[in-house]
Amino acid sequence: MDDATRQQLILAAQEARARAYATYSDFTVGAALLTAEGRFVRGCNVENRSLGLTQCAERVAVGNAVVEGYRDFQALAIASRTGVTPCGACRQVLAEFCADLPILLVQEEPVPETREVSLRLLLPDRFGTDGP
């Protein structure tokens, strides 16, 4: 991923975050997947008054990508106030489509900063039916 694409991916996650529906937690999250074809597919968290029905930004992005015909991904950016890592459930959902994936964690506070991790680092020894 070149520098310009990285910046576009970060911007896409930040734009998605601006659309988050986080009325209960007030913690907005935006995600953007870069597909193998070079497209950006976004997701944001969508909360619900029945709190357990809340959807995370990352899983919304994966669903949006799949329905648009994209299943191969080059990278993911996640934008939030504090630069959180994806939750365990989202890690497993991402692992359905890629053994590894660079993940940019975009934070706003205390200073705007982006940290890079990987899916393999966040979810070692993932569940799979092909055995250990």
Positions touching ligand THU (CB under 6 A) are 22, 25, 27, 29, 45, 47, 54, 56-58, 84, 86-87, 90
- Annotated catalytic residue 113: no
Token pair of 40 as six digits: 């950006």
Q: Which of 47, 58, 109, 116 is catalytic?
A: 58
* Measured distance CA(55)–CA(43) in Å, rounded: 10
Q: Minimum Å distance from CB 16 to ligand THU? A: 10
Cβ proximity to ligand THU, 84 vs 117, nearer residue: 84
In three-state secondary structure terms, 104 is: strand
**38/82 with CB nearer ligand THU:** 82
Question: What would the two tokens of residue 112 be?
Answer: 């705007």
Nearest to 39 by CA among 67, 81, 79: 67
Residue with tokens 């997947």: 33
For the CB of residue 132, give the shortest distance to ligand THU in the complex, in Å.
26
Annotated catalytic sites, by residue? 58
